[in-house]
Amino acid sequence: MGFSDDFVWGAATSAYQIEGAAKEDEKGAHIWDVYAKEPGHIYGGHHGETACDHYHRFRGDVGIMKEIGLRAYRFSVDWSRVLPEGTGRVNEKGIAFYDALIDELLEAGIEPYMTLFHWELPYELYKRGGWMNPRIAEWFGEYAKLAAQRFSDRVSHFFTLNEPQCFVGLGFLTGEHAPGLKMPLRDTFEMAHNALRAHGRAVQMLRQYAKQPLTIGYAPTCGMCYPETEKPEDIKAARQTLFSMNPEDRNWTWNVAWWSDPVLLGHYPKEGLKRYEPYLPRITDADMKLIAEPIDVYGQNIYNGRCIRMGADGRPEEARRGEGFPKTASSWPVTPEALYWGPKFLYERYQKPMYITENGLSCHDVISLDGRVHDPNRIDFLARYLGQLKRAAGEIDIRGYFQWSLMDNFEWAKGYSERFGLVYVDYPTQKRILKDSAYWYRGVIQNNGAGL
Ligand code: BGC
């Protein structure tokens, strides 16, 4: 029971959220570089031009990871740092940065897990239609080929896309994220389809140009569902809700099945094909074959879930959260059960070894008078969630867990106002302070979750 002896304990970040150096060493611009600089888009006019200055401080940051005892680190490559126009010209200085980071990690005994796309669409490709252009599958494939050629001698774990739900939904439907557009539904389905094709092409290219056998995965997200009780009918209701389409079409990207069934089962869910029929692009058998290019592991980012029960009318219904229900500083509900039922439902359906590629919370962290950062709420949250994950790990094949995030960082539209890190970042000085939760997590890693 519990976590396997080789369970991978890690933490995660993404390029734009921590790197900074947005205009250095011939990096190309991406949609966030452009969008965040325009007034009114990001909380407080913040942007990621310096962020955590990780580009210059990565050696110290790897030292901190070592201090925490991380076994693995999930980070993303900024596509426009290595291919400034998205295709064609390779920027050797960008490659050199990731080379040095990988070497530093390996030297510290930390396994690198590389994500290819965590939302930085090169601006030059955006101008050519971005996700709307079917050629994006080739462009992304070219980038994946470069990653395999240059990094796969030392990196054997890759994830293709991070949270397509968000970069399509928030970027192109609600317009809360870069590039800040509210596109017609029809266009967003086209983009989603092309994003999945791009994923498939990247898998092919990674495999073809790999210098060693790779473990390739995909890292979508979505609120999970968990049953109110463990009665079979409530479990059935939660499962059914998790894999069904969103009741509101303008929120259609918030679902699991549309994004994961094609990748893992080779077809779009029937319910969605029927419901979204007026908005769908042409979908060919060749597309579906490409999208379903076999992967090795399934990553899922899980932050919270909805409590579901079977209603008296035989239809699933959401149980109301009581007054004062616990929530994080981002006002996200605290629902540890999501980390038991989520992986369980996903494993049942997709039968792939799983990673939790992100999980965590923001807190109102401050430096206390004693100079330390006390974050009991984060420790309590993680203890509860990891306790549930431990239960799941005793039942299904879960390979690892990546806490989000290693350090406080640029939280997209919320700028630096939300702190998700195990490590506190004092932005004016760039000083890092390990929060109490970082020391606590170190203990969890050391005893492989025994005390959870
Ligand atoms: C994203 C991260 C983000 C985190 C917290 C996930 O949706 O992958 O980039 O910072 O959640 O909002």
Mean of the pLDDT values across residues 431-444?
98
Ligand 1 close to Cβ of residue 304 (< 6 A): no
> Is the CB of residue 21 less than 8 Å from the CB of residue 30?
no
pLDDT tens column, 372-414: 999 999 999 999 999 999 999 999 999 999 999 999 999 999 9
Ligand 1 close to Cβ of residue 120 (< 6 A): no
pLDDT tens column, 4-25: 999 999 999 999 999 999 999 9
> Is the CB of residue 298 less than 8 Å from the CB of residue 159?
no
Average pLDDT, the chain: 98
Q: Is the pLDDT of residue 272 over 80?
A: yes
How far does CA 432 lie from the centroid of its chain? 23
Ligand 1 atom at shortest distance from the alpha carbon of 404:
4
Ligand 1 close to Cβ of residue 14 (< 6 A): yes
**Nearest CA owner, ligand 1 atom 9:** 14
> Is the CB of residue 116 less than 8 Å from the CB of residue 199?
no
Evaluate whether residue 423 is within a structural domain.
yes
Evaluate whether residue 287 is within a structural domain.
yes
DSSP for 383-433 reads HHHHHHHHHHHTTS-EEEEEEE-SB----GGGTTS-B--SEEEETTTTEEE
Please report, for the domain that includes residue 176, its CATH number: 3.20.20.80
Residues noted as catalytic: 163, 358
Work out whether the CA dihedral 94, 197, 163, 204 comes out positive or negative. Answer: negative
Q: How remote is the CA of residue 440 from the centroid of ligand 1, in Å?
A: 22
State the Cα–Cα distance between residues 82 and 437, nearest whole angstrom.
Answer: 34
pLDDT tens column, 296-341: 999 999 999 999 999 999 999 999 999 999 999 999 999 999 999 9
Evaluate whether residue 1 is within a structural domain.
no
Mean of the pLDDT values across residues 358-381?
98
DSSP classification of residue 363? B
Ligand 1 close to Cβ of residue 411 (< 6 A): yes
Evaluate whether residue 452 is within a structural domain.
no
Please report which confidence band the pLDDT of residue 267 belongs to, taking 50, 70 and 90 as the band edges: very high
Tell me the best of 19, 412, 417, 418 to mutate to test the pocket of ligand 1, counting ligand atoms within 8 Å of each CB and taking the most.
Answer: 412
State the Cα–Cα distance between residues 367 and 426, nearest whole angstrom.
Answer: 9
Work out whether the CA dihedral 13, 295, 112, 91 comes out positive or negative. Answer: negative
Ligand 1 atom at shortest distance from the alpha carbon of 14:
9
Evaluate whether residue 451 is within a structural domain.
no
- Give pLDDT, residue 396: 98
Please report which confidence band the pLDDT of residue 1 belongs to, taking 50, 70 and 90 as the band edges: confident
Q: What domain count does the chain have?
A: 1
Of all residues in the chain, what percent carry a pLDDT higher than 90?
100
What number of other Cβ atoms are within 10 A of residue 325's Cβ? 11
Please report which confidence band the pLDDT of residue 143 belongs to, taking 50, 70 and 90 as the band edges: very high
Q: Is the peptide bond before 14 cis (omega within 30 degrees of 0)?
A: no
Q: How remote is the CA of residue 358 from the centroid of ligand 1, in Å?
A: 8
Evaluate whether residue 3 is within a structural domain.
no
Q: pTM of the full predicted structure? A: 0.98
Q: Please, how many CA atoms are within 13 Å of residue 411, restricted to the half-sphere of its CB?
A: 21
Q: How remote is the CA of residue 221 from the centroid of ligand 1, in Å?
A: 9
Q: What is the span of the domain harbouring residue 36?
A: 8-446
